[in-house]
Chains A and B, each alone.
Chain A
Amino acid sequence: MATIIKEEKLSSIEQFNCNSCGNGLEVFNPRAKYISCQYCGSVLDTKSEQHEILMSMSPPTEHQPMSFIKVGLLANFFDKKYQVIARTRWQQDYYEYWSEEGETGYSRELWIYDEWLMISEQRTYFYLVEDKDGYYISEEIVPDNPSLPNESSHWSFMKNQRPQIINEYGSASVIYFEGESNYQIKLNDLIQFASYKHKNTIYTAEWRINELNNQIKEIEFFKEDKISKKEIIQAFENNEELDGLRRKGEIWQWLTYGAFASAILFFVLMFTSFGGTKQVFTQTFNFAELNDSALFKSKPIQLDETGLYCIELRGGIEVTNSEAFVLAYFLNNEDEVINHLDGDFSVYSGFDSDGYWTESTEEADKLVKVKETGTYHAKLMLDREDAVTGSVTLNIFSGVVLTRYYVIGWLIFLLLGFIFRSSMKKYF
């Protein structure tokens, strides 16, 4: 298991207390002009002596981060150390492409996502985007064939890419900000965007419109690659805050593997336990020897081991459409009846529209736990019509294993395995 290296946070260039709530703030980005207090939402000026409050955002409780990521955490990306220094929450009001059963169209959607600003030791940046669906690494790129999307819904701006369906287009505005910023934070600052997908990467163009003259102010192009939650957790693992999360994830992981391993074990045991039964007694009694008024004594039944035994009566009726009832008493060596087994046997047959049929019941058995070894014997009685001929065999088997617990076991552990697995998935 990886040892957690407690990495040091980046060295801050400034520390001061928030004028509004008094909580300590640290500035890591030398170019940052503004810092939004993550505790009370006030935006302060970093450069001036007094750090005056410039504006107030909505309180942080309204816009809590979606997962464990928060401002101040360290992360390892692209073999470099990064620190989270800001978060911008955007609300997207856009149209999303759909296609179903030959029909296509755009549906209006609202979506919220967070952009985490990550700064490296060398003060280079990238954005980590987080939304309900997962995480993405966003990078500004220089397009090969720049253009703005127009009414036709196919578009692309990189070479070696056929124009793709525009997946989403619309606008987005900032609804919350925390952390350091080089620019003045403008709530409700609106951007227009359009994006398409090529392989597993999302390509987006974003532009701002000058409200005064309705002209575009600036256009930027980005690409976004999805990154799995597992990689995210790995990237952030050197944070104390993540210890608790990681430990929980590992516990679920062990429980999941343990449950599946147990399920497999029980499944295998269920099959392997069928062997090992041994016949320790057998005797066949002809119906002619038995009757319903006198008991017929069997040979001695020697049971030398304690444990589970299976006692079985097998009928062999020779006449169809007849019945016989057999009762076997079991006696210990003090000649006391201690158990019994009865068999209600019958054989029927006939013809119907499907052809010839037979129905028979010719077996009766029970499992018993023998606690005292010794010599036992059986006494049998039989009730039948005189014309019914046949025989009945008494068999006793040792080395019997109850498979029912293995069946219950593997079913329950299989179910538990899937339940644990879904909990585990939250961490990996």
Chain B
Amino acid sequence: MHVLVCGGTGCQASASAQIIENFQQILAAKGLQDEVQVVRTGCFGFCEKGPIVKIMPDNTFYTQVKPEDVEKIINEHIIKGRKVTDLLYMDPENREHVSDSKHMGFYRKQLRIALRNCGFINPENIDECISRGGYEALGKCLTEMTPQQVVDEITKSGLRGRGGAGFPTGVKWGLCAKNKCDEMYVICNADEGDPGAFMDRSIMEGDPHSIVEAMAICGYAIGASHGLVYIRAEYPLAIHRLQIAIAQAREYGLLGNDILGTGFNFDIELRYGAGAFVCGEETALIHSMEGKRGEPTLKPPFPAVSGYMAKPSNVNNVETFANVPIIITKGADWFASIGYEKSKGTKVFALAGQINNVGLIEVPMGTTLRDIIYEIGGGIKGGRKFKAVQTGGPSGGCLTEKHLDTAIDYESLAAAGSMMGSGGMVVMDDTSCMVAIAKFYLEFTCEESCGKCSPCRIGNKRMLEILTKITEGNGTMDDLQELRNLAAVIKDTALCGLGQTSPNPVLSTLDNFWDEYVEHVVDKKCRAGVCKKLMSYVIDKDKCIGCGKCAKNCPADAISKTDYIAEGHKLPSMVIDSTKCIKCGACIAGCKFGAISVK
């Protein structure tokens, strides 16, 4: 028998160590130490109800266990085999105690559809994929459905583009299918570029066959026989596994001519991108594949009319494709039953930042930020205070406390001033400066702008300069005004999605953290202590014993003696000349008396 005690940070903070100790002591006292083994585990991700104790093998899940409950668990459960009901998790919906964690609502918070095979099959073995039903959806389409029915099924499922914009996938396919042409292309956008987002890579690395299958299904639906995967060259493993998957599919006749004896031909080639963020924009992506400068052009014409080599093309993102086969197999109604209002199915997020369980998660649309951060993510690291969550990468915005209970979908995120984006989710605590965060994202956009349109090329640069000015303590209230106007104009006038969304991190922080901007500008203060130029190093003249070590350590010659000798000290105190100080921190590091502080 095993007793598993959560050793995650959250549970540790609420006495899980004491619980383990109690278990060990009482079990030893009862001579059960050889029968029952106590183990500390990783975070269960259910910190809100911690500390968690799980009894194996019967999977009993106790929540909010206190050290004093241990004896009761041992006496009742371990010795007598009776579950301790009042410590069981209570389902908030039907007010019933649930003992087996598999039946707990919490475990249904995450639902893996796009990631269904990741971590389950060997991605380099097509047999394992087939054993999980791989390529059956393609077979079903080819033998039981007309192309129009496939388009209709995808439309009915409510699947929307997972690359960020959320355009209905079935509608996109339908538009392309209308432009019948001897040469058409199915393009998989695998140019994942959001900093911190890596779900597409994970899918390609963990389940490449789903992409191959989905592209073939799309090819059948729109009438194309060429597939192209535009993948960034920085993803060698994903490339490797896709290549293997394509070769194996060809070997099995699941790609190539006359697939499954139906007369349908389809094959896939890989195209490599050099890692330009803007090439995730479909027109820029197409230009890059054609060997041209990767920059967007105006739509219309849409790729569905004139795409790769001026032929009708359908571009979908990796995660979007990953959902396709299972929709065909399980049906549009099943898929549409999952999710929220206008956003169906699930979304994969790359959960990062100041959060305990950093990871790749997949949740049904409509899950709240609170559930993601506190239940799946295990809460804020070190028990600090939640400050903001940034979604959608450089195109998204920062949401706050007040948005925690918003059900996330495309519309609600947009309404809150952020966006779904490709699914980056960075959680920030009170050590993050929101001005610096806006600046960080803008630096990225400036770096990645293609430079084609003036608002993005020059406007973002000017916004970045204003933000830099603010973080360096030289900002004015006029700058904030200018920042707002610039952000609005860029959003209104930029050519492509990159430029139109690049002001989001600035606008959302201006909206949600206006006080912090004003503090930087008026009080010349950065409350998070991030903006170096706004900090000043000060020596407490009464604590300083005048040893002079700080002055020796100072590389800028900014520290000198004063005339003041504090009570009980023999030597005069030191003082820092703030005009010379470079804020390197060498003085603090060397002071043994805690006399120097940052203000």
- Tell me if chain B binds chain A: no
Q: Which residues of B contact A (CB under 8 A)?
A: none
Q: Which residues of A contact B (CB under 8 A)?
A: none
